[in-house]
């Protein structure tokens, strides 16, 4: 097969993998709503424990124990995975709390803002230099948050917690890079969270509702039992996609998730969208348009530089 055909096939597969990940993340609110009457604290506890079980099975099937053992012998890497675990826990817990308390639209706002948060972290933590259009997108997004706080009269803590936790989580994943593969990383992140998950289940068991696993029929138990698969599969698809396509393409595909969540919140769940909230979201979308235009222009300039000179 010619190299050009191979490259095209690789890119197509990468888009398919990444697109699949973002599509699955986009419909996650519907999955969590299927778990009612299970509350957000119990959902996340099972998500942690069942993700660990699923990842251990994957390590066995893919024969990844050797690579996993190498990571275990590096205390610094273990420390980074523990911190990543805490951050993804915060992200999971806030997301499920938002979903099960009627704030799906606000969770979508967090993921709309996330790419811009990532750029800010690159500037202030990694000391990266960014382009003018990126600064413009950041400024517009900041205005949107102010509009939502002042005009709508509510601080978007769910959105900002989601974007902050996932942004720093991504920064840590970038730092540890190829030293920790996707399955080993999620295995360790889930492992460090076992004490939190167990404590949450103990506390939930003391409440009047109690533990719902197995208490609402086999159908509910089966759906709840898939929490580990639902957590791990998108992350693995995302990892496969990022290895095959440019981050510029990833940057544009990732908006699939918040768009789907926004549609679910407004059209399916009927969450309120007063004029003040519409104003904030429209300003956010303007920031996203500026951000995507910058990505496209940067990609074109990169291709122009890389294109071999013709005689």
The average pLDDT across 227-249 equals 81
Q: How confident is the model at residue 147 (pLDDT cuts 50, 70, 90)?
A: confident
Residue 93 CB burial class (10 angstroms; 0-12, 13-18, ≥19): buried
- pTM for the whole thing? 0.87
- Share above pLDDT 70 across residues of the chain, in percent, rounded to a whole number: 94
CA distance 152 to 144: 11
Phi, psi of 272, rounded to the nearest 5 degrees: -65, 140
CB atoms within 10 A of CB 73: 8
With a pLDDT cut of 90, the percent of the chain lying above it is 51
Please count the other Cβ atoms lying within 10 Å of the Cβ belonging to residue 250. Answer: 19
Average pLDDT of the residues in 13-20: 88
Confidence band for 311, pLDDT divided at 50, 70 and 90:
very low
Indicate the DSSP class of residue 308: P
How does DSSP classify residue 1? -
User: What integer pLDDT is reported at residue 3 of this predicted model?
Assistant: 55
Give the pLDDT score at 248: 62
pLDDT the model gives residue 5: 56
- E runs forming strands in the chain: none
Q: Which of 101, 99, 118, 102 is nearest to 230 (CA)?
A: 99
Q: Once rounded to an integer, what is the mean pLDDT over residues 124-143?
A: 84
pLDDT at position 60 is 95
Average pLDDT value for the chain: 88
Residue 257 DSSP class:
H
């Amino acid at each position: 097969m010619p190299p050009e055909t191979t490259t095209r096939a690789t890119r197509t597969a990468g888009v398919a993998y990444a697109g699949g990940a973002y599509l699955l993340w986009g419909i996650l609110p519907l999955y969590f709503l299927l778990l009612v009457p299970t509350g957000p604290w119990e959902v996340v506890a099972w998500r942690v424990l069942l993700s660990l079980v699923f990842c251990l099975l994957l390590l066995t099937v893919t024969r990844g124990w050797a690579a996993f053992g190498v990571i275990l012998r590096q205390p610094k890497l273990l420390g980074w995975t523990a911190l990543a675990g805490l951050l993804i826990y915060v992200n999971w817990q806030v997301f499920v709390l938002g979903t099960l308390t009627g704030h799906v639209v606000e969770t979508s706002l967090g993921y709309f803002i996330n790419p811009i948060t990532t750029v800010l972290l690159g500037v202030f933590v990694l000391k990266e230099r960014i382009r003018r259009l990126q600064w413009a997108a950041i400024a517009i997004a900041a205005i949107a948050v102010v509009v939502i706080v002042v005009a709508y009269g509510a601080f978007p803590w769910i959105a900002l917690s989601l974007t902050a936790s996932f942004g720093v989580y991504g920064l840590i994943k970038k730092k540890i890079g190829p030293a920790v593969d996707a399955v080993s990383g999620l295995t360790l992140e889930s492992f460090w969270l076992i004490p939190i998950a167990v404590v949450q289940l103990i506390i939930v068991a003391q409440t009047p509702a109690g533990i719902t696993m197995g208490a609402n029929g086999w159908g509910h138990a089966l759906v709840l039992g898939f929490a580990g698969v639902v957590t791990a599969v998108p992350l693995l698809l995302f990892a496969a996609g990022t290895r095959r396509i440019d981050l510029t393409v990833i940057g544009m595909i990732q908006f699939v998730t918040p768009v789907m969540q926004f549609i679910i919140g407004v059209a399916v769940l009927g969450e309120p969208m007063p004029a003040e909230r519409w104003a904030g979201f429209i300003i956010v979308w303007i920031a996203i348009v500026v951000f995507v235009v910058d990505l496209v222009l940067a990609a074109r300039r990169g291709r122009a530089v890389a294109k071999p000179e013709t005689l």
